[in-house]
Copies of this chain bind each other. A is one copy, B any other.
Amino acid sequence: MDQEYDNLIELYQEIILPSSISSVLYWDMETNKLPKMGVNYRSRQLGYLTKQQQKIWTSDKLRETLRKVENTNLNDFQKRNFNLIKRAYEVKNNLSENLLSEITKQSALTNEKWKVAKKSNDIGVVVDDFEKLFNLQKKYATEISKIREIKDPFSALIDYRDEGLNGVNVSKYFNEIKPFLIKTVKKKKDNYDNRFNNIKKLDLNKEEQKRITHLISDLFEYRYSGKASRGNIDEVEHPLTITCGPDDVRITVKFGNVFNVISSTNHELGHAIHKLNKNEKWNNLPVNNFGSPTQAEMISRYTENKIGKSFAFNDWMLSNFKNRFSSKFDEITSSEYNDFINLISPSTSRMNADEVSYGLHIIIRFEIERLLFNEKIMIKEVSQIWNEKYEKYLGVQVGNDGEGVLQDLHWFNTYWGYFHGYFMGDLIGSQIHYTMENELQDWESDLRTGDLSKLLKWQSKKIYSLGASYPILDHLVRLTGENLNVKYHKKYLENKLKL
């Protein structure tokens, strides 16, 4: 008798529908459709939708339905969906409302101050608000740790977002690979300035950059226009993917430097093909809507790097440049172009980091987060520690806070316990990549001819279509036959960089 389970799933629609509507409103804001003076009313609209969801989360009806479902016989799949809802329900119901509204307010304040601080390259401007926001986040993590009965608040925060991960296992993996990354950065660091002058000169106008974006979208079978379209490409200040519905996943691009456009388009397309290739029968279910940051970023970084910076992709891209654009490329060989794309060139910027430096960027942030949550350091020390770690791990001098601790909005906007996902994603992705290469040996030759269909099918079957059926580390075991092992990421980098 599944009536109660069906009731639960029906009730769940009242949570995901307003959320998909909020996404349309966010997309409208991010892509600058919203008139500037419309911001106030927009925040009321968003507040209304959040309130509708919160009403369901805290309703007697949901509580009752969960209780009834818990006492029925569920199969494993139903149980997984039930558990995903239950997990969120417990936190949403037991957090003090006051804390949430304080966080929202303080986050808005800190956000605004961050903008000023970033302009003046000085964390001093925002440090008091930053501290207030962090203290609220710590309270939030502490409440979650009580609700979920996980002792360490930082671990509780990570686990709530990213099932199965915590401060301890993430540290373990990061510590295992850190020395290798530091060594490799030191060894390979070189800027080859003159060698790549011809490539660097490539200067496409916006229309041409759009054509590049379309070309890559076609490669990844992302339909952004026409009768069968399930996506849309628009311009923004900070690229991101917005899911407005199961058949409406929109990516955004910031046009400018064409190599950044290629890499961020690949990243966002990774998110988009993930969302669009889920098992469509599950669209209304938690398995298709709950997901971990690590899973999401694993897929986008996989697409950006393992595929989008592979020799084969670079080959394909270069041949397209040669065909379409400029005679400047006539002399460039594919190995030169590949070397340029995969240059190890540590800098203060995470977004533009090479694949080796990238891990260290994330490790620095994760280490600082852990120190803060465990009260080993104070907010006012963060800037100094940040700079010291950059010097130590990457050999890079941070010129000012703007290019240092202020470079991303995340921390100033409640994204704590999130950064680890980008690099845990890299580690997991490398292990998956190894399995994939064993099973699909001709993926690179296919890609050189602009055909990714087999690879996409493989990933859809093995990853995308399973949604949140398993916590990410368990999913990895099912896929590769063994627990996460950082040796695969080492091996991947060694092969790529001919170490």
Chain A: residues with CB nearer than 8 A to chain B? 14, 17-18, 20-21, 24-25, 27-28, 33-38, 40-42, 44-45, 48-49, 52, 223-224, 226-232, 234, 244-248, 250
CA A20 to CA B34, docked complex, whole Å: 13
Query: Which residues of B are found within 8 Å of A34, using beta-carbon distances?
Result: 232, 244, 248
Query: Which residues of B are found within 8 Å of A248, using beta-carbon distances?
Result: 34-35, 37-38, 41-42
Residue among A14, A37, A223, A226 with the most chain B CB within 10 A? A37
CB of A21 within 8 A of CB of B38, answer no
Q: Contacts A33-B232, A35-B230 known; A41 to B28 CB distance under 8 Å?
A: no
A226: nearest residue on chain B (CB-CB)?
B36
Among B21, B28, B42, B227, point to the contact of A49 (Cβ < 8 A).
B21
Among B24, B227, B232, point to the contact of A24 (Cβ < 8 A).
B24
Query: Which residues of B are found within 8 Å of A224, using beta-carbon distances?
Result: 35
Query: Which residues of B are found within 8 Å of A228, using beta-carbon distances?
Result: 36-37
CB distance from A275 to the nearest CB of B (A): 12
CB distance from A45 to the nearest CB of B (A): 5
CB distance from A354 to the nearest CB of B (A): 34
Residue among A35, A42, A45, A245 with the most chain B CB within 10 A? A35
Q: In the A-B complex, list the 5 residue pairs whose CB atoms are closest, starting with the nearest.
A: A38-B248, A41-B245, A35-B229, A37-B247, A37-B230
CB of A18 within 8 A of CB of B232, answer no
CB distance from A239 to the nearest CB of B (A): 17
Quick one: copies of this chain in the complex?
Answer: 2
Residue among A18, A52, A231, A247 with the most chain B CB within 10 A? A247
Q: Contacts A17-B48, A226-B36 known; A246 to B24 CB distance under 8 Å?
A: no
Q: Contacts A28-B28, A52-B52 known; A20 to B37 CB distance under 8 Å?
A: no
CB of A45 within 8 A of CB of B28, answer no
Query: Which residues of B are found within 8 Å of A33, using beta-carbon distances?
Result: 27, 33, 232, 234, 250
Query: Which residues of B are found within 8 Å of A232, using beta-carbon distances?
Result: 33-35
Among B36, B45, B234, point to the contact of A17 (Cβ < 8 A).
B45
CB distance from A73 to the nearest CB of B (A): 30
CB distance from A138 to the nearest CB of B (A): 34
CB distance from A279 to the nearest CB of B (A): 16
22 A–B contacts, CB within 8 A, in A order: A17-B44, A20-B41, A20-B45, A24-B24, A24-B45, A27-B33, A28-B28, A33-B33, A33-B234, A34-B232, A34-B244, A34-B248, A35-B224, A35-B231, A35-B248, A36-B229, A37-B247, A38-B244, A41-B245, A41-B246, A41-B247, A42-B245
CA A250 to CA B35, docked complex, whole Å: 9
A25: nearest residue on chain B (CB-CB)?
B24
Query: Which residues of B are found within 8 Å of A247, using beta-carbon distances?
Result: 35, 37-38, 40-41
Q: Besides the contacts A41-B248, A42-B245, what 12 more A-B pairs have beta carbons closer than 8 Å?
A: A21-B21, A21-B25, A21-B49, A24-B28, A33-B232, A34-B232, A35-B248, A36-B229, A37-B229, A41-B245, A41-B247, A52-B52
Query: Which residues of B are found within 8 Å of A42, using beta-carbon distances?
Result: 245, 248
A31: nearest residue on chain B (CB-CB)?
B33
CB distance from A145 to the nearest CB of B (A): 35
Query: Which residues of B are found within 8 Å of A227, using beta-carbon distances?
Result: 36
CA A248 to CA B41, docked complex, whole Å: 8
CA A38 to CA B18, docked complex, whole Å: 16
CB distance from A59 to the nearest CB of B (A): 14
CA A17 to CA B40, docked complex, whole Å: 13
A247: nearest residue on chain B (CB-CB)?
B37
CB of B48 within 8 A of CB of A245, answer no
CA A20 to CA B21, docked complex, whole Å: 12
Among B21, B223, B250, point to the contact of A45 (Cβ < 8 A).
B21
A227: nearest residue on chain B (CB-CB)?
B36
CB of B37 within 8 A of CB of A21, answer no
Query: Which residues of B are found within 8 Å of A35, using beta-carbon distances?
Result: 223-224, 229-232, 247-248, 250
CB distance from A366 to the nearest CB of B (A): 36
CB distance from A30 to the nearest CB of B (A): 12
Query: Which residues of B are found within 8 Å of A234, using beta-carbon distances?
Result: 33
Query: Which residues of B are found within 8 Å of A231, using beta-carbon distances?
Result: 35
CA A244 to CA B45, docked complex, whole Å: 10
CB distance from A272 to the nearest CB of B (A): 11
CB distance from A44 to the nearest CB of B (A): 7
